[in-house]
A and B are shown apart, each in its own frame.
Chain A
Amino acid sequence: GESVGLHLPTLSVQEGDNSIINCAYSNSASDYFIWYKQESGKGPQFIIDIRSNMDKRQGQRVTVLLNKTVKHLSLQIAATQPGDSAVYFCAENRGDNNAGNMLTFGGGTRLMVKP
């Protein structure tokens, strides 16, 4: 039968503008967060990570902000380029489980960059 899938939210930005992708997490015990980029037909690619003892971390053209009070994570991409077009996922490490390391993913946001 036909399966019902989720439609990914889409963020459309002009080339050169800054992009902000948001993510809410649910587990207050999560202590480590990662942003991944996934291009069509490929596996996720690590972008940047942040630990729960930090509020902000910067990489090359990317910044991750963590607000533990409201359990919110954001990824900022400066001067967005066409090559940034992809689906972006946030992942949280559930540090309170017996299995040890376990990553759970948010629903993903599709970023479309208009030339």
Chain B
Amino acid sequence: GAVVSQHPSWVICKSGTSVKIECRSLDFQATTMFWYRQFPKQSLMLMATSNEGSKATYEQGVEKDKFLINHASLTLSTLTVTSAHPEDSSFYICSARGAGEAFFGQGTRLTVV
């Protein structure tokens, strides 16, 4: 099946720094990419949807200036958590979708200390 690679898988950063997470579709062109956040024992929460070459559409309550999303090509989207704080610690998962079903990256565990 199609592969979506997410990097890094785990990152620890100091409060106040910015962290960039990459999501790549390895063998298909992803016209749409989704970014999700997941707290322990909870469901995935959609943060934003991005279509290649256009601005991301953010869900209500998600700060677009804090969670910067770039979808510059059909195979790469990035999520940058700016000025991270401990409450941003979470599991972030991307999903990429071409013509068929959506495939997920492995997820990135962000710990802000």
Contact surface of A with B, Cβ cutoff 8 Å = 3, 5-8, 34, 36, 41-46, 49, 89, 91, 98-108
Contact = CB atoms under 8 A, between A and B. Distances in A.
B41 A43 contact: no
Interface stretch (B13-21, B60-68, B69-77, B94-102): B94-102
Contact of B105 (A43, A106, A108): A43
Interface in B49-92: 49, 51, 57
Given A99-B49, A100-B32, A102-B49, A44 B42 contact: no
Most A CB within 10 A of own CB, among B42, B57, B102, B104 = B102
Given A42-B107, A103-B34, A49 B41 contact: no
A91 to B, nearest CB: 8
Contact of A6 (B1, B43, B44): B43
A62 B100 CA distance: 19
A46 B103 CA distance: 7
Contacts of B110: none
Contacts of A99: 32, 49, 51, 57
A34 B44 CA distance: 14
A91 B43 CA distance: 11
B30 to A, nearest CB: 10
A7 to B, nearest CB: 7
Most buried by A among B39, B40, B44, B104: B44
B44 A5 contact: no
A89 B82 CA distance: 29
A103 to B, nearest CB: 6
Contacts of A34: 101-102
B46 A102 contact: yes
Contacts of B102: 34, 46, 91, 101, 103
A5 B42 contact: yes
Residue of A44, A91, A105 most packed against chain B (CB within 10 A): A44
A7 B103 CA distance: 26
A45 B41 contact: no
Contacts of A7: 41
A19 B74 CA distance: 38
Given A99-B57, A102-B34, A43 B107 contact: yes
